Amino acid sequence: MTHLTCMALKDSYRADQSPDVAPSEAEPPFSWRAALEIIQALALAVIISVVLNLFVVQVTEVRQKSMESTLLQGDRVLVSKVDYRFGMPERGDIVVFQPTTDSTIPYVKRVAAVAGDTLDLRDGNLYVNGTKTDYVGAHGATTPQSPALTYPLKVPADSFFALGDNRLASSDSRSFGPQPDDRIIGKVILRFWPFDRLRFFEW
């Protein structure tokens, strides 16, 4: 057998022993660069989410029944944190705030009166600056709750007077008094859950 014939047989044997998978179908090697890009994208998403939650908007769950039926217990709302960076609370706003009580749960109430307003509670009705005032969604008699508060009452500077729309089932400023503006976390602008009760509030 010639030398050339032996070489041909060896090459044929090697070809028979090679894998059937084509080189182009082989699994690509692990890319640390691609993994790093994914980690960077995830980190950026987390940072954006944290910044938005701290300074722009946050999601809050309504945990009380004091705003029924405007907001029900278990509703989830979107809260704007930028509104009061450029302005003051207005009558009728629905706000989330941390009350000056020992509650660890933020309250969701309506701003019934603002700094400088004089409010009175008479015959189950709310009067602001001498005018009987009704807010859409509010129901039930608006009666005093604490003997420590006397009416007419003038809301101090940089403060607001909060009431729940469900006046008979709300512990609010009638109980713990006017609240400092800096206790406000933000203004409710959207109820997004449950979806069948989606509602935008005035913004």
Helices (H) and strands (E) in the chain, counts: 3, 12
Q: Which of 12, 81, 103, 109 is catalytic?
A: 109
**Measured between alpha carbons, how far is 137 from 164 in angstroms, rounded to an integer?**
10
Provide the CA 40 distance to its chain's centre, in angstroms. 26
Q: Distances in Å between the alpha carbon of 5 and those of 16, 17, 73?
A: 17, 19, 89
**Measured between alpha carbons, how far is 6 from 42 in angstroms, rounded to an integer?**
59
Q: What is the predicted pLDDT for the residue at 20?
A: 52
Please report, as a single letter, which amino acid is at residue 55. F
What average pLDDT does the segment 114-123 reach? 97
Give the confidence band of 33 by pLDDT, cuts at 50, 70, 90: confident
Q: What is the predicted pLDDT for the residue at 8?
A: 45
Q: What is the predicted pLDDT for the residue at 35?
A: 72
Asked if 109 is an active-site residue, the reply is: yes
**Measured between alpha carbons, how far is 57 from 39 in angstroms, rounded to an integer?**
25
Q: What is the pLDDT of residues 143-201, one digit of tens each?
A: 999 999 999 999 999 999 999 999 999 999 999 999 999 999 999 999 999 989 999 88
Q: What is the predicted pLDDT for the residue at 58?
A: 87
In order of their start, the domains of the chain are 60-200 (2.10.109.10)
Provide the CA 162 distance to its chain's centre, in angstroms. 19
Q: Where are the alpha helices (DSSP H) in 74-187?
A: 173-176
Q: What is the predicted pLDDT for the residue at 57?
A: 65
Tokens of residue 137, six digits: 């969604």
Q: Is 95 helix (H, G, I), strand (E, B) or coil?
A: strand
Are the CB atoms for 125 and 174 separated by under 8 Å? no
Handedness of CA 91, 93, 97, 101 (dihedral sign): positive
Q: What is the pLDDT of residues 38-97, one digit of tens each?
A: 776 666 555 555 545 554 568 999 998 999 999 999 999 999 988 788 888 999 999 999
Asked if 154 is an active-site residue, the reply is: no
Q: What is the pLDDT of residues 119-145, one digit of tens each?
A: 999 999 999 999 999 999 999 999 999
Q: What is the predicted pLDDT for the residue at 38?
A: 72
The set of residues, in sequence order, having a beta carbon less than 8 Å from that of 72 and lying 6+ positions away, is 62, 65, 197
Q: Which of 66, 159, 170, 173 is catalytic?
A: 66
Q: What is the predicted pLDDT for the residue at 81?
A: 86
Please count the other Cβ atoms lying within 10 Å of the Cβ belonging to residue 88.
Answer: 14
